[in-house]
Structure 1
Amino acid sequence: MSHSVAGEPPATGRRAAPLTTAVYSAAEWDLLTGLPGRVLVAATAPGPGRPERGVQAGLAGLDAVAAGRGFDSDLVRAVVAAIYARHDGAPAPTERLTDMVDLLAACRAAVRVLQRRADPADSAAYRQWVQSVAGRVCRAAPGPDGVAASPADRRFLDRLGGALGLG
């Protein structure tokens, strides 16, 4: 039987949230669970100086998301579990997902949430994991010169890392 943090059984029909997720509001949790997918979409999107990405790059990003299951962070593992548990079938609003300004703002908002609510080790692990999703996409399909990440890709990763407080 699942018990709440206080040791009392949860309300009828409800499961107690894992301690990791219980400290976040619904909006904060949506931000944290949605950010890896938004980063994946932005990393696969072509842009000035950034090559068109194929299926291989998208699969590399999905593998990076799934790799979070093996992280030594309760937060990262809980986020990955929540991502894989979603079955709403609603199409994502791609015009917002690939907008770089919006993505960087979401990254900075996630950092603020993590500073307020997360253990510092979980915060660092989450931010590094999100960055690794973009990194794997950018390195997945080398350009025509054989370089895995173009200068534009490196700028993208640098901007993302800065917004995530990693730079």
Structure 2
Amino acid sequence: MSHSVAGEPPATGRRAAPLTTAVYSVAEWDLLTTLPGRTVVAAAMPAPGRPARGVAAGLAGLDAVAAGRAFDSDLVRAVVAAIYARHDGPPPGAAGRLTDVVDLLADARAAARVLDRRADPADSAAYRQWVQSIAARVCRAETDGNPAPADRRFLDRLGGALGLR
């Protein structure tokens, strides 16, 4: 917890933002904190050539998001904490774009640019790999562990947008 010089909590009674989040604008932080959840939704939605997903796929995605709590990355852990701290739904403007793959890929590219500019290289790599692993776990759920060709294309496109390929 952040304390004042006298050791008292901040006057607002709230925790100061972790140092990890201080370098991001509100819009950048919203992008980084909504991308994992939007990735779950996009990976789970039906699409041509992709199998229909059930509850297990959504649960696999939520489990993959939660797994970020154990990452050796301050950024990933801060993003997960922010996701769990949100109890008022997605930020304004995000609701209409929750499942659009084209917008998801554009936002993944934007997040990669933000990470290139502002994040520690290790945190940047961890965040990108974490988001990719979320999608992969959703795509592998309810299968024998081998994603369909359309799922592999989706994962390749996401990896490219995140700058992993």
TM-score (norm 2): 0.90
Deviation at 1:107, TM superposition (A): 0.2
Q: How does 1:64-83 map to 2 (within 5 A)?
A: 64-83=64-83
Structure 2 unaligned segments of length 5 or more: list them. none
CA offset at residue 8 of structure 1?
9.3
Contact 1:39 1:134 in 2 (8 A): yes
Distance 1:59 1:135 in 2: 13
In the alignment of these two chains, the number of paired residues is 162
CA contact (8 A) 2:64 2:137 kept: yes
- TM normalised by structure 1 equals 0.89
Measured in 2, the distance between the counterparts of 1:85 and 1:7 equals 28
> In the alignment, what sits opposite 1:107?
108
Kindly indicate whether the alpha-carbon contact (under 8 Å) linking 1:2 and 1:16 is maintained by their aligned counterparts in 2: yes
Distance 1:10 1:114 in 2: 31
Matches within 5 A, 1:5-84: 12-13=11-12, 14-84=14-84
Please show how residues 86-101 of structure 1 align to structure 2 within 5 Å: 86-89=86-89, 93=95, 95-101=96-102
Contact 2:36–2:131 at 8 Å: present in 1 too?
A: yes
- Distance in 2 between the 1:77 and 1:27 partners? 19
| RMSD, aligned α-carbons | 2.2
1:148 CA displacement? 2.7
Identity over aligned residues, as a percent? Answer: 78
